[in-house]
Structure formats: C-alpha cells, structure tokens
Chains A and B, each alone.
Chain A
Amino acid sequence: MDASPISEVLAWLPNVQLAHFLAISAILFALGIFAIITRRNAILVLMGIELILNAANLNFIAFSHYGGLNLDGQVAAVFVIVLAAGEAAIALAIVLNIYHRFQTVNVDEVSSLKE
C-alpha cells in the first residue's frame, strides 16, 4: 500500500539530502523568473538575473557534493561567478547610458533604439 504523497513529503523533509538543495534552487529560479518578468525597473531585472545565476550555482555545487561531479562542479560555479561579475558591470553601464538618454530606467518605457 503506497503512502499518500503528502505524508511521503513530510517523512522526507527532516532528512536533508540532495533534493532539498535542488528544491531551494528551484524556488530561487522561479523567483528570479518572476522578478525578470514583473519588474519595471531595469536594476530589479538585473537582481532577478543574479537570483537565477545563484540557483544554477547551487545546483552545480549540490551535484559536486552528492553526485559524481566532484570538484568539476565547483570549477563550473567559479566560472559562473566570474561571468556574473562581468555581466553586472556591463549591464549597469548600459543602464546608466539608458538613464542619461531617456531619464528613466523603466524597461517598458524604453522602447526605441535611438532618440
């Protein structure tokens, strides 16, 4: 006789395993997607992107500890962090330019490529 899914999940909660970390990263990923779509301010969209990158990194490191990925997963996470730093610098420079041109950083008002 199978247990109901709810009691199965309740029995699964206290024993922290790989899936717990994956669940946290899934929550972070969904929140990042939500922020990217709903926010009007470009900087908050960037924060959503950072949340998504953190979720991906958490997955890499969780699999490097639990799966057979070993330290390769951590090396991938290092590269993700490096790219996130570069991306944040470039994106903020672009946002500053947009602000100088249009006097706003709301992504739904900035719809033309030139003045």
Chain B
Amino acid sequence: MDTFDIVFYAFAAITVLSAFVVVFSRNLMYAACSLLFTFFGVAGLYVLLHADFLAVTQILIYVGGILVLLLFGVMLTSKVISVDIKTGTIHTVPAMILAAIVFGSLAAVFYATWSQVPEPVTTATATTRTLGELLMTRFVLPFEVASVILLAALIGAAFLARRIRKP
C-alpha cells in the first residue's frame, strides 16, 4: 500500500460513511450536513482521478449551491417550532431488496471484468485549459443547450417559487 491507496481509502471511507448517515439518519439536518461530507469525499476522489477542475466545480456547485438550496428547502418546509426535525421511512424491506439487487449486479459486473482493466493514462497535467477548449470546439452544441436549459430552469424556478396572491 502506498500513499495513493491510503488517501483513496480515507476519501472512500468519508464518502460511504456520510452517505450512510444521509440515508439512515432520522434527523433532516443531520442528513443535510452529512451530505456535505459526501460531496467533499467525492471531490477528493476526483482529485485522485486527476480531475482537478471537476473537483473544484464539485465543491463550488454542490456544496456552495445545491446543498445550500436543500438546506433552504429543509428550513422553509419544516415546522421550525418543533426543534427536532424528524422524518419517517416507508417501504424499507422492498427498498433493501432492490438496493441489494442493484449493488449486487453492479458488483458482479465489476468482479467479472476487473482483470481486464486498462492501465491509467499517466498524463497528470492541469485539465482546465483542455476542458475549456473542448467545450468551445467539439462540445459547443451541448454547451449552448446547457446554457439555455439553465436559463429556462432559472426562470421556471423563480416563477414557481413565487407566492401567488389570492385575489
């Protein structure tokens, strides 16, 4: 085991343990806060995979944007007077079966093919410049479509979340 493996296992442990808290915690705030650690762990795994720009993007957008949105949602839709924001679970047994089937089949595929893994691409250069060039050349159409989608989502969210006055 060298440093790479140790760092991988540290980030993997952070990711998986906090994801378990997200899924099984009965307190909404605990779940939201441990989602923060899940996103950080995944960002660390991105760094291990030489995706530096993606790691920073993950922290900026997921932690800075989506998680804050989710926290706003928790705050705005719970009775704040009741201090403990609890939530129940339903369909536990079918969900366990389905999740076990999904994980089992994925793990079986990985186990069956793990010996044919190609060697990693060893270039450890900064990816930001190349990503930007790709977005402006080969992927320019998806890039523009994504910008239109973001604009539509922004307008739609602002329209939907507006409180409509009763006449």
Contacts and interface: CB of A to CB of B under 8 A. Distances in A.
A77 B53 CA distance: 11
B62 A90 contact: no
A42 to B, nearest CB: 8
Given A20-B8, A58-B42, A75 B102 contact: no
A21 B117 contact: no
Nearest to B78: A105
Interface residues of A, number: 75
B61 A65 contact: no
Given A33-B99, A33-B102, A47-B22, A78 B73 contact: no
Interface string A79-115: 1011111111110111111011000011010000000
- Overall SS of chain B's interface: helix
A81 B127 contact: no
A19 B96 CA distance: 23
Contact of B134 (A26, A43, A71): A71
Interface residues of B, number: 82
Nearest to A35: B23
A7 to B, nearest CB: 14
Given A66-B118, A78-B57, A90-B157, A84 B23 contact: no
26 contacts: A9-B111, A16-B9, A20-B12, A24-B16, A26-B106, A27-B19, A27-B103, A30-B99, A34-B96, A34-B99, A40-B87, A40-B89, A51-B35, A58-B42, A64-B51, A66-B120, A70-B121, A72-B134, A79-B142, A85-B61, A85-B150, A86-B149, A89-B153, A90-B156, A92-B72, A93-B160
Interface of A: 9, 12, 14-24, 26-35, 37-44, 46-48, 50-51, 54, 57-58, 61-62, 64-68, 70-72, 74-75, 77-79, 81-90, 92-97, 99-100, 105-106, 108
